[in-house]
């Protein structure tokens, strides 16, 4: 049993660093309604900042939803300038039959800034990350940077370093469909991306390359496709596929994902991806899957309790590769710059005892 159930995650970073796929239930099918990035996440547009107050926050006001609590509609500011601050750290707590452990880890300290005009955008982050076992944020680097060109309202091209568009593109980077498939935080690669952004269909084709400044880090190289359809004006049906390789294996990953508006308040985010992986040294095939599901209910504006389930089972010939995680949580966005989430659950690897865990997350984006 949990004797002292506490994990505190404090990140002075918006979950706006990622997308909110459940916003499709409000009619926002395209991520570019709120973000510069076609796949969502990263620096917000002025409209995106205003929407975080009007639509997503319990007591939000648009007057202070801009950069550093400024008014995003202030005409005296440079209208092409985009900027956002991201700071993040994590305090973990876990209670197993053998050990009880808590650890505090600084994770991110970034400024994302750039220029965004009608046709052209250039965006970059500047910040620090941990580069050794001490976990201190010592190394200066850019997490993502890219140039973007809007050929038409529907066709958008992008070149640079960023996460590929795949599946829900949600903020849950520790989920089975992100970390379980080696697409965790910090997995950004150098990509060439083409997007079609329509009223009812979105399509993204991405050519993925290794990061030239991180030769020692294993990164994917390959190609991915992500397509989605706006269903009944309130839900998203999608499919993603990836084929690529790392230094010691090749793999294919594919599968469907959905954001379903069950009612005006209830929504379901779910995705399942099947992986066929070939280890180069042995030519052994490992076939399996990873899945993530979250069922949420917006009790009042900005306050959403939810249940969540993850499973990774990436080698169906080895039951020890099965790992499950499930639990209950609640997310609350009281004001436009604040996002809190509490989650408590259990984790279980096959043939091992369950582990109790919980976390409380605070996000502030400036």
Q: Is residue 272 part of a domain?
A: yes
pLDDT in tens, 131-146: 655 556 667 888 899 9
Domain count, the chain: 1
pLDDT in tens, 22-32: 777 877 778 88
Residue 96: enclosing H or E segment and its boundaries? Answer: none
Structural domain range at position 275: 8-364
Confidence band of 10 (pLDDT split at 50, 70, 90): very low
Query: What is the C-alpha to C-alpha distance for residues 70 and 94, in angstroms, rounded to an integer?
Result: 39
Q: Is residue 90 part of a domain?
A: yes
- As a whole number, mean pLDDT of residues 344-352 equals 87
Q: Is residue 41 part of a domain?
A: yes
For the ranges 50-54, 208-212, 260-264, 334-338, the lowest mean pLDDT is seen at 208-212
Confidence band of 107 (pLDDT split at 50, 70, 90): confident
Q: Is residue 155 part of a domain?
A: yes
Q: Is residue 3 part of a domain?
A: no
Q: Is residue 17 part of a domain?
A: yes
pLDDT in tens, 221-279: 899 999 999 998 899 999 999 999 888 889 999 999 999 999 889 999 999 999 999 98
CATH code, 144: 2.40.160.10
Q: Is residue 2 part of a domain?
A: no
pLDDT of residue 5: 41
- Mean pLDDT score across all residues of the chain: 83
Confidence band of 75 (pLDDT split at 50, 70, 90): low
Confidence band of 4 (pLDDT split at 50, 70, 90): very low
Instruction: For residue 105, give the nearest of 37, 174, 202 by alpha carbon.
Output: 174
Q: Which residues of 200-223 are buried (b: 16+ CB within 10 A; e: fewer)?
A: eebbbebbbebeeeeeeeebbebb
Share of the chain above pLDDT 70, in %: 86
The total number of residues shown for the chain amounts to: 366
Instruction: For residue 39, give the nearest of 201, 256, 270, 195 by alpha carbon.
Output: 195
Q: Is residue 190 part of a domain?
A: yes
């Amino acid at each position: 049993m949990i004797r002292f159930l506490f994990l505190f995650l404090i990140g002075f970073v918006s979950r706006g660093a990622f997308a909110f796929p459940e916003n499709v239930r409000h009619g926002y099918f395209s991520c570019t309604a709120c973000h510069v990035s076609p796949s969502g996440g990263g620096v917000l547009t002025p409209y995106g900042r205003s929407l975080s107050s009007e639509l997503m926050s319990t007591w939000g006001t648009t007057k202070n939803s801009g950069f550093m609590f400024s008014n995003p509609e202030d005409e005296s500011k440079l209208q092409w300038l985009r900027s956002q601050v991201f700071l993040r750290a994590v305090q973990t707590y876990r209670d197993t039959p053998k050990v009880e452990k808590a650890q505090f880890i600084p994770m991110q300290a970034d400024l994302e800034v750039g220029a965004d005009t009608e046709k052209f955008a250039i965006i970059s982050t500047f910040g620090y990350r941990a580069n050794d076992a001490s976990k201190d944020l010592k190394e200066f680097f850019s997490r993502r940077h890219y140039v973007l060109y809007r050929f038409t309202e529907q066709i958008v091209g992008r070149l640079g370093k960023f996460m590929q568009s795949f599946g829900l593109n949600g903020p849950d980077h520790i989920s089975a469909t992100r970390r379980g498939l080696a697409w965790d935080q910090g997995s950004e690669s150098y990509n060439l991306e083409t997007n079609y952004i329509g009223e009812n269909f979105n399509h993204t084709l991405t050519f993925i390359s290794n990061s030239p400044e991180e030769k020692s880090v294993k990164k994917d190289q390959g190609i991915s496709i992500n397509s989605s359809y706006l269903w009944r004006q309130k839900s998203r049906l999608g499919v993603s596929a990836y084929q690529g390789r790392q230094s010691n294996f090749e793999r294919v990953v594919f599968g469907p994902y959905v954001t379903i508006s069950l009612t005006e308040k209830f929504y379901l985010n779910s995705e399942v991806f099947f992986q066929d992986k070939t280890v180069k040294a042995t030519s052994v095939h490992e076939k399996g899957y990873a899945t993530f599901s979250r069922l949420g209910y917006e009790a009042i504006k900005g306050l959403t309790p939810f249940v969540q389930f993850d499973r990774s089972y990436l080698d169906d010939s080895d039951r020890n590769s099965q790992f499950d995680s499930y639990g209950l949580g609640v997310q609350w966005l009281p004001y436009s710059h604040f996002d809190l989430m509490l989650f408590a659950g259990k984790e279980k690897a096959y043939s091992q005892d369950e582990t109790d865990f919980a976390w409380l997350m605070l996000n502030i984006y400036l």
